[in-house]
Amino acid sequence: MTPQDRVAERISTAARNAHVFLATAESLTGGQISCLLGAAPASSDWYRGSVVAYSSEVKHRVLKVPDGPVVSEASARAMAGAVAELLGADIAVAVTGAGGPDPQDGQPPGTVWFGLFAHGRIDTEMHRFDGEPQDVVTATTEHALVLLERALASAPGRVPPPLA
């Protein structure tokens, strides 16, 4: 069992104990977060699913990302809120970034924005990860799992998703 699998297992336990549903919106990671959560114990009890929106057009159309750069705080915020609403999740994490090797939207490789819908609000944060594209994807996946685990640690129980 990998360290990521262990975190996903802890997320499963915490989500079931809190009686909450989780979802993800992924761009840069291409579904890797979803794969880990979906393979966790009893995932059908708490994991609602994911929207993997790799293209900018899908981010704008499906996840309500506003016009402009998709590697941005506004994009991560919109993705987290939209996936929570679409999938009926109490907690949702969203990731969008420039994996490299080239910059994207004026952001250097390794720039990643995270959006976290939890407890009725959306928080965002930006990180810069070093390494090759796969290193950035791995670091992004790991940090997204950490954000979910932290949100679950203080989960009050079911909170309705945001309105559009």
Q: What is the pLDDT along the chain (164 residues), one digit of tens a residue?
A: 899 999 999 999 999 999 999 999 999 999 999 999 999 999 999 999 999 999 999 999 999 999 999 999 999 999 999 999 999 999 999 999 999 999 999 999 999 999 999 989 999 999 999 999 999 999 999 999 999 999 999 877 655 555 54
What is the pLDDT, as a whole number, of residue 119? 86
- Model pTM? 0.93
State how far the Cα of 38 lies from the Cα of 61, in Å rounded to an integer: 25
State how far the Cα of 20 lies from the Cα of 69, in Å rounded to an integer: 32
What type of residue sits at position 66?
P
Angle between helices 3-18 and 133-153 (to 10 degrees): 30
Cα–Cα distance list, 69 to 65, 155, 162 (Å)? 9, 32, 23
What type of residue sits at position 32?
Q
